[in-house]
Amino acid sequence: MVFLNILIPLLLGSIGVILNLILIVKFMKIKKSAVTNFTKLCLCKAISNFVMSASFPFWIVPFSMLEFKIQNIPRTLNVIVSEFVGIFTYYFGPFILICMSINRFIAIYFPFSTISKKPFFTNFGIFISILLASSPVFVPKIFSCYIIYDPETTIFSSENYDRCGEAMNQFFVISIVTLALISNLINLVIFAKLMKDKMSGVSEAQKSKRRKKWQTMYIQSVIQDFLQAVDIINLYYTSGLFDDPLWVFVFTSVSFSSVYMLDGATMVYFHSNFKLVCSCKIASTKNVVMVSGKESSAFKLATNSKI
């Protein structure tokens, strides 16, 4: 069991590092002229996933492998790394997903608006995401509450559980699930708009093909929106249903280490052509959709810029 506690998180974390590093490199290699505001959001999400995945082979697993205890890790270092990875980066990803959803929403419902195309709009969204992701780090300090990594349990937890643990756990669950619901609600509204709008000037086969593409897009967004929510529910609720060590291991360590690997794999799977990832450009005229007799830039964006 001890061997599995080390091997599986190391393997899943390493795969996550590789997948998300590939995405980061591909995003950064997109020509400057083809980079859009959505590309920035895609890159931020990939970086967030990369940091979370890297925490396993470079922080979590080494301490567990060496059988360290909390006392063996310098407290200041433990708090800094744990709160950066376990809180800031953990929250930064969901906030970026909401930014992506808002970007899509504006593009679909206001196709001729220039708001989502202006760098300030996206830069401001990223800045707000950084501030909001930082608040769960700094606000608990008012009450002398800190997050540390426990090598014996392989999870990030409250340093003083009696005083802060229960309240922080409830906050984490409620906030992460709420963020997932907000992002998915926006994506659901987008999906409903895409499915409802009439397409003229295209054949029935083309309509069916595009609807299937939009359904795939929505499925992808649901997966990404709820991966982290499912993980935190597994950590605080599902893992406690049974006392069996294997059950606890699967719904804590395995669940946590697989989230960012699966997120990266989802991005890679749905976007095999990296030249089009988040570029918001049309590869050829066959991707043009006619809505009510007019070419819709919103549909161009929707079918080519989803992550």
State both tokens at 157. Answer: 């937890």
Amino acid residing at 68: F
Torsion of CA 191, 194, 197, 201, to 10 degrees: -160
Is the torsion defined by CA of 230, 264, 222, 135 positive or negative? positive
Residue 301's pLDDT band, with cuts at 50, 70 and 90, is very low
Q: Is the pLDDT of residue 275 over 60?
A: no
Q: In the numeric block, which tokens belong to residue 23?
A: 């995405």
CATH 1.20.1070.10 fits 2-304, yes or no: yes
**Half-sphere exposure in the Cβ direction for 73 (13 Å, CA):** 23
Do residues 31 and 16 lie in contact, with contact meaning Cβ atoms separated by under 8 Å? Answer: no
Q: What does the alpha-carbon distance between residue 177 and residue 60 come to, in Å, rounded to a whole number? A: 25
278, pLDDT greater than 70: no
Q: Are 253 and 246 in contact (CB under 8 A)?
A: no
Q: Over 90: is that where the pLDDT of 258 sits? A: yes
pLDDT in tens, 143-156: 999 999 988 878 89
- Which letter, b or e, does each residue of 178-212 get, where b requires 16 or more Cβ atoms within 10 Å of its Cβ? ebbebbbebbbebbeebeeeebeebeeeeeeebee
| Predicted confidence (pLDDT) per residue in 25-47, tens digit | 988 888 877 778 888 898 999 99
What's the pLDDT at 19? 94
Residue 300 has pLDDT above 80, yes or no: no
Model confidence over 153-201: pLDDT tens digits? 788 989 888 889 889 999 999 999 999 999 999 988 988 887 777 666 6
Report the chain's mean pLDDT, rounded to a whole number: 82
In this predicted structure, the answer to whether residue 66 has a pLDDT above a threshold of 80 is yes
Q: How far apart are the first and last CA of the chain?
A: 37
Extents of the domains making up the chain: 2-304
Most confident of 28-32, 82-86, 209-213, 302-306: 82-86
- pLDDT value, residue 72: 92
Q: What is the pLDDT of residues 219-244, one digit of tens each?
A: 878 888 899 999 999 998 999 999 88
pLDDT band for position 12 (50/70/90)? very high
